[in-house]
Amino acid sequence: MLDRATEWWGVIVPSFTDTQWVENFRMSEETYVYLCNKLRPAMERQDTAFRECIPLKKRVTIALWKLGTGSEYRSIGHLFGVSNTTVCRCVQDFCAAAEMLLVPELICSPDREKFAEMADYTENRWGLPQCVGAIDGSHIPILAPQEYHCDYFNRKGWHSIILQGVVDGKGHFWNVFAGMPGSLHDARVLSMSSLWELASRGNYYPPCTRNIGGVNAGYYILGDNAYPLQNWLIKTFPDNGWLTAEHVIYNKNICRARVVVENAFGRLKGRWRCLMKINDSDVKLVKSMVVTCLLTDDDIRELRDVDPGAAVLTSLENSDTDTASSDTDSEEHPDLPEPLTALFDATLRELSPQEIKVDIFLLKLTVSQVQIIVLSLWNWDILFSFNIEK
């Protein structure tokens, strides 16, 4: 029998500090113990007459290491002193137990009180009444499956499955749909989910309407232009070159509120690196791993634990949070000081549709394009001044 080293698990891990626990296993030791106790009924094994079973804590740790780092089974086996097959079984058992025991508690439809709380938070932060969240999709890299591999080849040039998620204003997932092939359009993925079926029939959101501008509006979520416009799914006005000032302001507020779902995906992948690397597991297990990462992430949030993936998109989140929490910001333009807001409003009222079209075009320029334009104007100014002096 092959001798395997176990010093790392038996000697080094017990000496980890709280910071090292978070860095290596994506959660504190307290949360880790809570997770082990939660999954004990489904994951604990008994010793037999032929061999001793792997302890529950070690099995959970192996699975967390796989999810947190995305390392190969062989590397994890060398680290923990177990075989590749054992690593795979630990990951499978952990994901199956998490889906069975944690899904009913963490990812479920909010009740009436929770919907009202989410709507109030979004309105207070972004000025969007009756909005209860934002929806988006994210591609999870996978190895090309042997069957129907063309269906999983996405528009970005690699194989993936799609994770569709809906988050509230705080970035917490409350509806997920994972496992669809990467070649599908976001609208197609939505139409195949239970969210579409229930919301289209009016059975998903509680019957709570509010009169806004003479229209009785119910709860809704925000989506990008890839999604179809519904009375429960709102998106921005298409930029056809003739947007009014009100349309520009409306689109801006919608885009600012939608950042929360992009940040949520960034935090999720920053914490669980298996979602960023090409996963060497089969498609069915990858789907289970994706859902498990969502569950453990939400579980840790409930326990108010540290988020090691918070460094992802930190500057974007900080700027968004600071902007939304500023006491001197106006309701229509939370990102501008009061004097500039009044000037901005007056400027928008005076702009013609052609001028608005030009401004929107300039806003779409990338940083590199702006640098090229500025450099060209600067060189032209030097040449013009040289000719004048000459």
Residue 319 in this model has a pLDDT that exceeds 60: no
Query: What average pLDDT does this structure show over 3-23?
Result: 81
Banded pLDDT at 95 (limits 50, 70, 90): very high
Q: Give the three-class secondary structure for 306.
A: coil
Structure-block tokens of residue 123: 């309105």
In a domain, 324, yes or no: no
| β strands within the chain, DSSP E | 131-141, 160-167, 173-181, 210-212, 215-217, 220-222, 233-234
In a domain, 244, yes or no: yes
Residue 331 in this model has a pLDDT that exceeds 60: no
Q: What pLDDT, on a 0 to 100 scale, did the predictor assign at position 382?
A: 37
Least confident of 79-83, 89-93, 123-127, 293-297: 293-297
In a domain, 290, yes or no: no
Last residue of a domain, one of 89, 105, 121: 105
CB atoms under 10 Å from CB of 367, counted, come to: 7
Domain co-membership, 75 together with 197: no
Domain co-membership, 193 together with 165: yes
- For 272-336, where are the alpha helices, taking DSSP H only? 283-302, 314-325
Least confident of 246-255, 273-282, 350-359: 350-359
Across-strand partners of 192? none
Q: How large is the angle between the packed helices 84-106 and 283-302, nearest 10 degrees? A: 50
Q: What pLDDT, on a 0 to 100 scale, did the predictor assign at position 308?
A: 53
Residue 286 in this model has a pLDDT that exceeds 60: yes
Domain co-membership, 44 together with 130: no
In a domain, 366, yes or no: yes
Percentage with pLDDT > 90 across the chain: 44
Q: What pLDDT, on a 0 to 100 scale, did the predictor assign at position 298?
A: 52
In a domain, 322, yes or no: no
Full-model pTM: 0.73
Last residue of a domain, one of 62, 85, 105: 105
Q: What pLDDT, on a 0 to 100 scale, did the predictor assign at position 191?
A: 95
CA-closest candidate to residue 309, choices 259, 279, 258, 275? 275
Phi, psi of 155 (to 5 degrees): -70, -15
DSSP 229: P
Structure-block tokens of residue 83: 């075989």
Least confident of 50-54, 85-89, 186-190, 352-356: 352-356
Instruction: Between 97 and 328, name the one with better pLDDT.
Output: 97
Residue 134 in this model has a pLDDT that exceeds 60: yes
Query: What average pLDDT does this structure show over 7-15?
Result: 84
- The string of pLDDT tens digits covering residues 196-225 is 999 998 888 888 888 888 888 899 999 999
Structure-block tokens of residue 260: 């929360």
Domain co-membership, 86 together with 125: no
Interacting residues of 315 by C-beta distance below 8 A, sequence separation 6+: none
Banded pLDDT at 124 (limits 50, 70, 90): very high
Q: What pLDDT, on a 0 to 100 scale, did the predictor assign at position 316?
A: 37
How many structural domains compose the chain? 3
In a domain, 335, yes or no: no
Q: What pLDDT, on a 0 to 100 scale, did the predictor assign at position 289?
A: 94
Domain co-membership, 79 together with 186: no
Note down the domain range covering 96: 7-105
Query: What average pLDDT does this structure show over 288-299?
Result: 79
Q: What pLDDT, on a 0 to 100 scale, did the predictor assign at position 52?
A: 77
Q: What pLDDT, on a 0 to 100 scale, did the predictor assign at position 146?
A: 87
Domain co-membership, 99 together with 118: no
Does residue 285 contact residue 250 with C-beta atoms inside 8 Å? no
Domain co-membership, 121 together with 94: no
Q: Report CA-CA distances (Å) from 264 to 46, 159, 226, 271.
A: 39, 22, 19, 11
Banded pLDDT at 240 (limits 50, 70, 90): confident
CA-closest candidate to residue 178, choices 263, 89, 95? 95
Domain co-membership, 198 together with 151: yes
Domain co-membership, 118 together with 250: yes
Amino acid at 244: T
